[in-house]
Amino acid sequence: MYARDFESILGRMSPSRDQSECVAESKTFLERRLAEFLGQALRFHLRRLLNPPAISYTRQPESDSDDYDDAFRPSRPPAWKSQPQSRVHELIDLQLSETGRDSAVADGSVSSLFSLALSRIYEYIGSDAFESDSDPVPLPASFCQSPVSQRGLGTHKAPIKSMSRDEVKELICDIDDVYSFLGAYNACKFLLELIRAPGVVKEVHKMGGWSAMEQHAKMLRDLDLDHLHVEDSHFSLIGYAGTMGSFFAKVEHLMSYMEPKVCLAEISILALAKRYKTNKASSPTQRQAIFRKFPHVRIIAAAISEGKARSGPFPKVVPQPP
């Protein structure tokens, strides 16, 4: 392991090395592990600041009791070493806008939703936009404008019964663009609703504040580790913003920047669904008939439903009366 690591350091020293070369490959094992630990620590601090107390289903290992049946009873550490618990879950109510059940909402796991929101923003605009003060990525002027998206299933007299692989790919790309955009917008909205709920900022400061998270996220950025552990890359957004205050300001700016296009995106995807007859208006029997006649519609329907799931599910944050 050490030999490999020192070799990778030597590789970085080589003058012929292209700077744009894959960063992950030139990193040592310990650096990759550090990226993993920073991600774990960031998640831990998020849970501590935002989540209700977790239920421990097993006993603490140091317990010396001989009663082995007792091992499966929920237990808590003694009061002197119990972590102070966040009350954020008591200050807000999470309501899913559509019928459905999300486990994070059901468990009141605000930290999971916070992390999911960060990843949606990161996937759509990347981290660079959070570093500079300029406007983030240029937004598309319109959505689903490719010929294949506009074409639909043809006319009754001349139906288009098959699509080439490239056409399907293009269509899926269009669908993906719309839902990535909507996902990022919904994420911004959720984060701002959460932080603006009365008492939340005060509670977070009472629990120790964001400083530990800011430091870890800054390390991810400074040591160029944010691409090493894909599951935690989105935390680098905080590092690029600098402080949480600046991060939320940038989220607010991003949301107002995206807002004018939201209606257009929603209308475009609805129109596409209608053109390919995958919308909810069709009954199951009708849809089965369409699937038989146009097999590629099944793929489009799956892409739309997957995109819909990806753009959410962010609940509405309703402040609780004190």
Binding region for another protein (CB under 8 A)? 1-3, 6-7, 9-10, 12-13, 28-31, 33-34, 37-38, 40-41, 44, 47-48, 51, 53-54, 56-59, 61-62, 64, 66, 68, 71-72, 76-77, 81-84, 216, 219, 223, 225
Beta carbons of 124 and 237 less than 8 angstroms apart: no
Give the whole-angstrom CA distance, residue 43 versus residue 54.
Answer: 14
From CA 63, how far away is CA 313, in angstroms rounded?
41
- What is the secondary structure of 177-219 as a DSSP string? HHHHHHHHHHHHHHHHHHHHSTTHHHHHHHTT-SHHHHHHHHH
When the beta carbons of 61 and 322 are compared against another protein, the nearer one is: 61
Give me the phi and psi of 269, to 5 degrees please: -75, -35
Residue 29 CB, shortest distance to another protein, in Å, is 7
Shortest separation between residue 248's beta carbon and another protein, angstroms = 25
Q: State in angstroms the smallest separation of the CB of 60 from another protein.
A: 8
- Spatial separation of the C-alpha atoms in residues 111 and 49, rounded to whole Å: 8
Q: Closer to another protein by CB, 55 or 263: give it.
A: 55
Shortest reach from residue 244's CB to another protein, in Å? 19
Q: Smallest distance from the beta carbon of 153 to another protein, in angstroms?
A: 52
Question: For residues 71 and 267, which CB has a smaller minimum distance to another protein in the complex?
Answer: 71
Q: Which is nearer to another protein, 41 or 148 (CB)?
A: 41
* Alpha-carbon distances of 80 from 54, 84, 229, 272, rounded to whole Å: 17, 10, 35, 59
- Which is nearer to another protein, 223 or 270 (by Cβ)? 223
C-beta closer to another protein: residue 56 or 95: 56
Least distance to another protein from the beta carbon of 42, Å?
11
Q: Distance (Å, rounded) from C-alpha 225 to C-alpha 27?
A: 9
Q: What's the full length of the chain, in residues?
A: 322
CA 104/CA 112 separation, integer angstroms: 6
Identity of the residue, 38 or 175, whose beta carbon is nearer to another protein in the bound complex: 38
d(CA 316, CA 190) in angstroms, rounded, equals 7
And the tokens for 98? Answer: 């559509």
Q: Residue 201 Cβ, how far from another protein at the closest point, in Å?
A: 22
